[in-house]
């Protein structure tokens, strides 16, 4: 087939950029959360659409010439519509595809995936180790998966793009319109059309590249939380919830209605958007039922939220920032000598302080971050049961034990090993976790061996600092590894229940409720017997203990700080 013929055929195709892992739970329609581009609820193919229901089943509508609109049974975490085929990630992580298979586009490989995206006659998937696998048509190299690790993928008609774990964008496949020439910069999401592509940057602005014959790369101003490219048009959800579209508009596909929406999905010549009540609104062409043949009683949504119970605890960073959560979920922060600091309102289950930045987990499992270089990706809908903040990165543990990391990935701190975890902790530029089999693994910066030198054997918990790591064995002993310039690895003997690491000191809570610190040249005293204490945390050169009563006491080399923060009952 000639190049011109391929391009003419391409006008009959449509694919959208789609999905990643979603956490499912039963909930009411009113609890449908905002949806990011790498975690969509609804997806449009050429002339059909599919959506993820709150119970994990699928609902599809529109053209069904090849059975692409016949949703299979079972539960899914994500769905993606392509040309005349559809793929989805099942709750066990396997990929299932249905519909046209003329190029092998529904012959999904085995393995465990966290995202799938369906293209013209091909599909790609993101494995749990963040590597990419593609299958189907490869006449333009679109199914030749690139090396490296990625956080999100989007398949177009002839090409695909992805956000790498360091935040940069990469594209492969056909490049007739320049759609595979990704610009520099860092992104939270990319989306691929026929001959154009777009990316959502960290600051919420959008940049597009490739063919602009119909204005599909002429991005309007504004701040966005999610974007999606159709054949020759693109739409995005602003942070305010309104939708803007640009590019082709022959069938009204770029003329969105007023209202507040959680997600938008663009097809060949129509567009659909998800409302906060779980209903779907479509505009543009209805020729094949893609906009007016919706399921009669669908309630679409995912990641509706958890119901976490607040646990009283405190957290310390490396620049004199401290925060704590009460047993009723009230969050407070303070600096040295208990000077109050900013903390958002709401009900929280956990807080994690790092190098001047803070991330906290609301009781619905949603994260909020503020301060030095820490942020939550635009439009995030992931839900977590634990957060761990590093210097420039954050990791979250999901209810199923999988871990997602975001932020700066220069040292590989975003490349989470393929495993499930029971506990995690982030240091400066590395993270450690206890896997469900009890072994520990660390990833990211390895300046002092804090990642690669992780010892074998079982652990109940781990802790990470600037350049060192420690863990507690089932017998209560502490083992440390990594940089030892100040004696960070010289853990004392004894039976311990909790360990926490600062840059220049390490501390642990003993089974009798007393505390012991080491490597603290600038901390005095190193041992406190005036317990019992329920928790100990460390900053750069200071430490704080939490008593069972909720009282907090902090000290450094100059002794105990005067005053006290609000109690943590």
Residues 159 and 280 grouped into a single domain: yes
Q: What is the pTM of this model?
A: 0.55
The CA distance from 243 to 237, in Å, is 5
Pair (463, 531) in one structural domain: yes
Distance from CA of residue 370 to its chain's centroid?
A: 16
What residue has token string 């449009």? 44
Is residue 250 domain-shared with residue 329, that is, in the same domain? no
For residue 226, give the CATH number of its domain: 2.130.10.30
Instruction: Please count the structural domains in the chain.
Output: 2
Enumerate the β-bridge partners of residue 352: 359
* Sequence-separated (6 or more) residues with CB below 8 Å from residue 416: 130, 395, 402, 403, 404, 405, 431, 443
Strands 76-81 and 535-538, by their bridges, are unpaired
User: What would the two tokens of residue 267 be?
Assistant: 């097809």
Whether 409 and 270 map to the same domain: the answer is no
In a domain, 294, yes or no: no
What's the half-sphere exposure (Cβ side, CA atoms, 13 Å) at 41? Answer: 35
- Per the structure block, which two tokens stand in for 420? 């499930």
Q: 131 with 221, same domain?
A: yes
Residue 484 Rama label (left phi>0; alpha psi -120 to 50; beta): alpha
Domain contains 107 = yes
Report yes or no on 156 lying in a domain: yes
- Fill in the DSSP letter of residue 135: E
How far is Cα of residue 68 from the mean position of the Cα atoms in its chain? 29
Q: Which residue is associated with the tokens 């109050």? A: 340
pLDDT number for residue 15: 29
Q: Do the domain assignments include residue 295?
A: no
What is the DSSP code (8-state) at residue 103?
Answer: T
Q: How far is it, in rounded angstroms, from Cα 279 to Cα 256?
A: 15
Domain extent at residue 359: 313-560
Do 263 and 367 belong to one domain?
A: no
Q: CA nearest 218: which of 239, 201, 196?
A: 196
Same domain, 244 and 388: no
Q: Say if residue 172 is in the same domain as residue 317.
A: no
pLDDT recorded at residue 378: 64
User: Strand (E) positions, 319-402?
Assistant: 321-325, 331-335, 339-341, 348-353, 357-362, 367-371, 386-389, 393-397
Whether residue 300 is contained in a domain is answered as no
* Same domain as 452, residue 380: yes
Encoded tokens for 141: 């190299």
Tell me, yes or no, whether 299 lies in a domain: no
Are 48 and 130 in a shared domain? yes
Residue 9 within a domain: yes
Q: Which residues contact 64 (CB under 8 A, 6 or more apart)?
A: 48, 70
Give the residue from 333, 313, 331 showing the smallest Cα distance to 323: 333
Q: How many residues does the chain have?
A: 569
> Is omega for the bond preceding 350 within 30 degrees of 0, making it cis?
no
- 73, 109 in Cβ contact below 8 A? no
Torsion of CA 497, 374, 337, 513, to 10 degrees: 0
Show the tokens assigned to 445: 């910066």
* Measured distance CA(424)–CA(436) in Å, rounded: 11
Cβ contacts of 540 within 8 Å, gap of 6 or more:
318, 319, 320, 502, 503, 504
Residue 16 to residue 253: CA distance in whole angstroms: 14
> Average pLDDT per run of 10 along the chain, which is 569 residues long?
27 28 25 43 88 83 88 89 93 93 96 93 93 97 95 95 91 96 93 96 92 97 92 92 95 93 89 82 77 54 66 87 90 83 88 89 90 72 91 92 90 93 95 96 96 96 96 97 93 96 92 92 87 92 89 84 64
| Separation between Cα atoms, residue 398 and residue 443, nearest integer Å | 18
Statement to judge: residues 397 and 529 lie in one domain: yes
Same domain flag for 325 and 264: no
> DSSP of 512-552, one letter per residue?
TS-EEEES-TT-S-SEE-S---SEEEE-SS-EEEE-TTS-E
Q: Can you tell me the distance from the alpha carbon of 228 to that of 250, in angstroms, rounded to the nearest whole number?
A: 18
Residue 303 lies in a domain: no
**Residue listed under structure tokens 């320049």:** 178
Enter the tokens of residue 162. 């992805």
Query: Whose CA is closest to 28, among 58, 59, 55, 60?
Result: 55
HEC states along 434-476? EECCCCEEEEECCCCCCCCCCCCCCCCEEEECCCEEEEECCCC
Give the residue from 110, 91, 97, 94 showing the smallest Cα distance to 53: 91
Instruction: State residue 357's pLDDT score.
Output: 86
Q: Which two tokens stand for residue 194?
A: 């026929």
| Closest alpha carbon to 513 in 496, 531, 528 | 531
Give, in order, the Cα–Cα distances in Å from 155 to each of 35, 133, 173, 241, 253. 19, 12, 10, 25, 20
């Amino acid at each position: 087939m000639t190049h011109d013929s391929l391009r003419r055929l391409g006008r009959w195709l449509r694919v959208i950029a789609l999905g990643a892992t979603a956490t499912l739970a039963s909930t009411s329609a009113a609890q449908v959360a905002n949806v990011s581009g790498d975690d969509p609820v609804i997806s449009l193919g050429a002339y059909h659409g599919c959506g993820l229901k709150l119970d994990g089943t699928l609902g599809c509508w529109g053209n069904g010439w090849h059975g692409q609109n016949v949703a299979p049974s079972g539960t899914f975490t994500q769905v993606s519509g392509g040309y005349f085929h559809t793929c989805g990630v099942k709750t066990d992580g396997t990929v299932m595809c249905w519909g046209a298979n003329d190029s092998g586009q529904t012959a999904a490989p085995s393995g465990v995936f966290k995202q799938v995206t369906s293209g013209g006659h091909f599909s790609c998937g993101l494995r749990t180790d963040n590597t990419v696998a593609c299958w189907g048509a490869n006449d333009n190299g679109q199914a030749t998966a690139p090396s490296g690790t990625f956080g999100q993928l989007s398949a177009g008609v002839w090409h695909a793009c992805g956000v790498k774990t360091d935040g940069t964008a990469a594209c492969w496949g056909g490049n007739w319109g320049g759609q595979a020439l990704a610009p520099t910069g860092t992104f939270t999401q990319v989306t691929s059309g026929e001959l154009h592509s777009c990316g959502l940057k960290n600051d919420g602005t959008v940049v597009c590249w490739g063919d602009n014959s119909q204005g599909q790369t002429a991005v309007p101003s504004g701040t966005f939380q999610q974007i999606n490219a159709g054949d020759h048009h693109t739409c995005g959800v602003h942070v305010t919830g309104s939708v803007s579209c640009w590019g082709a508009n022959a069938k009204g596909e770029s003329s969105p209605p007023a209202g507040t929406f959680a997600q938008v999905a663009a097809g060949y010549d129509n567009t659909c958007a998800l409302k906060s009540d779980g209903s779907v609104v479509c505009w543009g062409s209805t020729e094949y039922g893609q906009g007016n043949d919706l399921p009669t009683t669908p309630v679409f949504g995912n990641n509706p939220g958890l119901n976490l119970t607040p646990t009283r605890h405190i957290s310390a960073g490396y620049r004199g920032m401290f925060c704590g959560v009460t047993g009723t979920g009230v969050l407070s922060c303070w600096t040295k000598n208990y000077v109050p600091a900013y903390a958002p309102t709401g009900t929280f289950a956990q807080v994690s302080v790092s190098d001047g930045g803070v991330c906290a987990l609301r009781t619905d499992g949603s994260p909020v971050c503020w301060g030095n270089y820490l942020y939550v990706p635009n439009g995030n809908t992931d839900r977590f049961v634990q957060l761990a903040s590093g210097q420039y990165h954050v990791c979250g543990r999901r209810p199923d034990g999988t871990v997602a990391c975001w932020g700066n990935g220069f040292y590989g701190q975003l490349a989470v090993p393929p495993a499930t975890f029971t506990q995690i902790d982030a240091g400066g530029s590395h993270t450690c976790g206890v896997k469900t089999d009890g072994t520990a693994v660390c990833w990211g910066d390895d300046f002092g061996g804090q990642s690669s030198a992780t010892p074998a054997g079982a652990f109940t918990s781990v802790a990470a600092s600037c350049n060192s790591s420690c863990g507690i064995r089932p017998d209560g002993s502490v083992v440390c590894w990594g940089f030892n310039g100040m004696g960070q690895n010289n853990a004392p003997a004894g039976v311990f229940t909790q360990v926490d690491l600062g840059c220049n000191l390490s501390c642990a809570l003993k089974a009798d409720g007393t505390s012991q610190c080491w490597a603290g040249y600038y901390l005095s005293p190193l041992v406190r017997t005036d317990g019992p204490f329920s928790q100990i945390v460390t900053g750069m050169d200071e430490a704080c203990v939490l008593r069972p009563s909720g009282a907090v006491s902090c000290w450094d080399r100059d002794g105990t700080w005067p005053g006290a923060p609000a109690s943590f009952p």
